[in-house]
Structure formats: C-alpha cells, structure tokens
Amino acid sequence: MLVVRPISMSDYEALHTCAVESGHGFTSLPVNEELLTNRITHSEYSFGKESVTEPGDEGYLMVGFDSETGEVAGCTGIEASIGWDVPFYSYHISTVVHSSPKLGVNNVVKLLTFGNNYTGCSEICTLFLRPSFRQGLNGRLMSKCRFLMMAEHPERFSKTIFAEMRGVSDDDGNSPFWKWLQEHFFSIEFTLADYLTGIGKKGFIADLMPKLPIYINLLSKEAQAVIGKVHENTKPALRLLEKEGFTCRNYVDIFDAGPTVECDLQHIETVRHSFRAKVHVAEHSSSKDFLIANTSFENFRATAAKAAYDQEECSVILAPNVAQALQVQEGDYVRMHAQ
C-alpha cells in the first residue's frame, strides 16, 4: 500500500534519488545537496507552523512510501504562495491584429509578454513517481492527495491553484524553445539555465530576458511548434489535471514554453466532490476504491484503499491496516473521494 506523508530529513537520500531519476527539465528537483536539504527543512517548518490563516511562505513537500517495505516511491508538493521572496516569471500569449483597410491587409499575430502574473498563487509542484511504482492508483494518489489537503485546510492556500507543466525537450535536455532564446539573448545551455532556476539563482533571467513582447511568428519553426506543448512523460499528469478542471490560460514557461494550467480551488473536482466520514475500524468486503486522507495537517496521511462508505450515516468502514496507515482510530474523521 502506498501512503503519503510529510517529508522528513531521513528521506534525503530518497529525495536525491528522485531528483536524479526525474531528469532534465524538472526544475523543482535540482540535483543539489544544499537545495534539497533546505527544501526538506523548509517543509518541516511549514508543516509544523500552527494557526495559519492565510497562505504565506510555506512549502509543503510529501513523499509516498510503500507501507510494507518503507521504500519511497516518489514525491509531491505544494507552494502556498509563490513569488514573494523569489520572483516567479512566465510568458503570456496574447493576440493582436495589424490591420490596414486601405491596403486590404488584416494580419492576426501572437505575442509573448514577460511577467509575474501568478505572484501570490498556490502552486502544485514536484510531482514525481518512480517508474517501478507507476501502476494502479499510485499516480492519482500522489497528485490528488494535495487536493484532499486543500479541501480540508483551505485557509492555507490561495484562491487560484496552478501548475507548471514540463515542456518539450530531448533526452539530452535540449529545448527547441530555449535554443531560439539562447541564440538571441543568452549564452548558456538550457540544462544550466534550468538548473540555476532550480537552485534559486534567477537573477540572470531578469538581467538577460527580453523585456518587450516577442512576436511568435519571428521565432524558429521548431520553437513555435513546442509552445504550449508538454514533455511526453508529462502527458498523463496533464490529463489528470485537466479532468480536475485545470486549464491553460495562455501562460507558458519562459524556458521550455510548457503550459501553465490553473483552476480556482473551489472548482477543483476532487475538492468539490470530497467529503468527510466518521471512521469505524473493521474488516469489510467492499470493492469500491477511494482516496482517503486523515484530517490532521502536521501529521497528514493519505492512501488509496477500498472502503465501505455509508452515505446516510456519513460513516466509513476502514480495514485495520488502512486505519493504521492513516493514523486514525474508531470515531475519528477522514476526508474521502471516490475513484
């Protein structure tokens, strides 16, 4: 059984393994000991922070682990409010019309405009599931457990939730979009730029990035072709978020032009349709799958399991091993979402 819990410093080696296996373009998991350690420390601080009434500098990082072996299967995270301490940049795609009635010319062109439009929003990020665990409901659990947390503790998150999706790059980490930017504005490789961003050294972006809007039709054909497209490995994650109600509002990443998708917290499908139930611990024969989380924040736990839900009584029967994994007892409450 895969169980999600807050990360701790003892998970460093496992997080480092995830960083290595995630490959190029996964900005939020740089292969850097200091940064990974700081990320864990900040998450421990954030989960331990009490009486939070609005999103601030908190960053919540969680791991999924095998309840039988203890092996870490992957990680998933939420940044409560981005852009306050370190600027968060993106490109917005807009449309303009160049028209001359006298000449009978009417051209529709698109622009990329540099900005900080997601400042203050909550970001779901750092979702990575190791290949050997990509089966059953594991992927859904690692992604959707964050929405169960948001439904139970909405005061900790912003009205708008967004996610940056990994853009197109090859096996060596080369991005067609970045190749055009590099040729005209930068002198460093995509992998280095991506790494520097991951470790927080974003000053070069503001220094070198073109400040005026860029006409998309001036980019190379290769660069134009990948704007708003996702990496092959990211397609399942994008489909899952689209089913949750996330959509692209014409914002893309400034390095690989991968799409940014967003949704109002209250409109996220899992948030809307999740519910609380009172726990009874007993063996049962139900065959219905649920994603289930406890109602604690500091000791958050979530898993995917079969449960017997009674809608009239607003109660649920959990098998003893599931209750133990969630750290709940008879009479406690859990938040659930049917699968």
- Strand boundaries in the chain, DSSP class E: 2-6, 59-66, 72-79, 90-100, 105-115, 122-129, 160-164, 214-215, 247-252, 259-264, 275-281, 289-294, 302-306, 308-310, 315-318, 333-338
Burial 273-304 (b: 16+ CB within 10 A, else e): ebeebebbbeeeeeeebbbbbbbebeebbbbb
CB atoms within 10 A of CB 18: 23
Give every CB contact of residue 118 below 8 A, 6+ residues apart in sequence.
82, 83, 88, 90, 160, 162, 251, 260, 262
Q: Which of 92, 98, 153, 231 is catalytic?
A: 231
Distance separating the N- and C-terminal Cα atoms of the chain: 16
| Catalytic residue status for 24 | no
**What residues act catalytically?**
231
